[in-house]
Amino acid sequence: MFGLLPVFRKELADHLSGRRFMILFALICVAGLSATYVAAQSIRGDVSGDRESGFVFLKLFTASSGVLPPFVSFISFLGPLIGLALGFDSINSEQARGTLSRVLSQPIYRDSIINGKFLAGMVTIGLMLLSIGLLLGGLGLRMIGVPPTLEEVLRLISFLGLSVVYVAFWMSLSVLFSILFRQTATSALAGMAIWIFAIFFLPMLAGIATDSLVPMEQDAPAAIQLQHEEMRQMLSRVSPSTLYQEATIAMLTPHIRTLGPILLEQTRGMLPNPLSWTQSLLVAWPHVVGLIALTLICFAISYISFMRQEIRA
């Protein structure tokens, strides 16, 4: 790991002092604060009726009044933007400016550069999300006056961790593009194309593809309907955004017992009490693993192609 530390330190300083970071942070602050404010308003409105279900604090992040989507949706939508912005020019801009060959001629291993950049990006994402999480928690605490329980704190931390992984996936994707494409504009556009595709088109396409794979009549038997729904979910889970959304729902809504379709018969005899934190984590675990795997795959491909890349000035 020769040379990792100086690269990491410089990249982190670049990220944190950069204008790009300020803009993104401002954007996510505005989105988060308004979403939480609206959520807190609506919680205050009906907190009396909702008393038994508990977990009021978590609702800050998931409740929506219809005017504004909840904070969770904002992250699932804006997270990719943060990730892409942090990574899309990480390698190719250095190539274009001629700094890469200068840095590579210093006595450091070549992988320290890409490792340092990834690590700095991850830490930046972590800092950004942690601070926004604390900020919103503080705001919510003032507004609704209900302190979070330990369980809720654990769930929030898992939610933030999950978000870091999710944004890190988009960052590693954009770093990959910055290695594959020489032009920063091309890599930014490629990243955005994938983002739009994963968020808007993939769920639609999943629906269309399911209709042809598992045709379903209006009054189809339950088995077919179940199969249809399972297929649609499977396909839409190709999108990392879907994975993230489902996993966060499981983490922030203790009452959710499964992320797949469930039959009425199966709920018979089920106690309507919330799951514990570990059980919720178990429900979301496949999704979490999927997201981590996607991030690692992107990182591995970037790593290999960067190590093999011809360095021409």
- Kindly list the residues in this chain that would bind another protein in the complex (CB under 8 A): 2-3, 6-7, 9-10, 14, 18, 94, 97-99, 101-109, 310-313
Q: How far is the CB of 304 from another protein (least distance, A)?
A: 16
Q: How many CB atoms lie within 10 A of CB 307?
A: 11
Q: How far is the CB of 36 from another protein (least distance, A)?
A: 33
Nearer to another protein, 7 or 136 (CB): 7
Q: Which spans in 145-200 are helix H?
A: 150-180, 184-196
Contact status, residue 305 vs residue 180, Cβ threshold 8 Å: yes
Nearer to another protein, 99 or 266 (CB): 99
Nearer to another protein, 9 or 255 (CB): 9
Q: How far is the CB of 131 from another protein (least distance, A)?
A: 23
Q: How far is the CB of 305 from another protein (least distance, A)?
A: 16
Nearer to another protein, 22 or 222 (CB): 22
Nearer to another protein, 108 or 114 (CB): 108
Distance separating alpha carbons of residues 241 and 283, to the nearest angstrom: 17
Q: How far is the CB of 168 from another protein (least distance, A)?
A: 24
Distance separating alpha carbons of residues 41 and 37, to the nearest angstrom: 6
Nearer to another protein, 3 or 140 (CB): 3
The string of DSSP codes covering 89-149 is TTTHHHHHHTHHHHHHTSSS-HHHHHHHHHHHHHHHHHHHHHHHHHHHHHHHHHHH--PPP
Nearer to another protein, 109 or 201 (CB): 109
Nearest C-alpha neighbor of 252 from the set 113, 119, 132, 152? 152
Nearer to another protein, 169 or 303 (CB): 303
Distance separating alpha carbons of residues 2 and 13, to the nearest angstrom: 19
Backbone dihedral region for residue 299 (phi beyond 0: left; psi -120 to 50: alpha; all else: beta): alpha
Q: How far is the CB of 42 from another protein (least distance, A)?
A: 43
Tell me how far the alpha carbon of residue 111 is from its chain's centroid.
26
Q: How far is the CB of 275 from another protein (least distance, A)?
A: 48
Contact status, residue 77 vs residue 200, Cβ threshold 8 Å: no
Q: How far is the CB of 125 from another protein (least distance, A)?
A: 21
Distance separating alpha carbons of residues 22 and 25, to the nearest angstrom: 5
Nearer to another protein, 113 or 198 (CB): 113
Q: Three-state DSSP class for 38? A: helix
Assigned token pair, 270: 């089920």
Rounded alpha-carbon distances, angstroms, from residue 132 to 31, 118, 129, 135, 156 = 10, 21, 5, 5, 12
Q: How far is the CB of 51 from another protein (least distance, A)?
A: 53
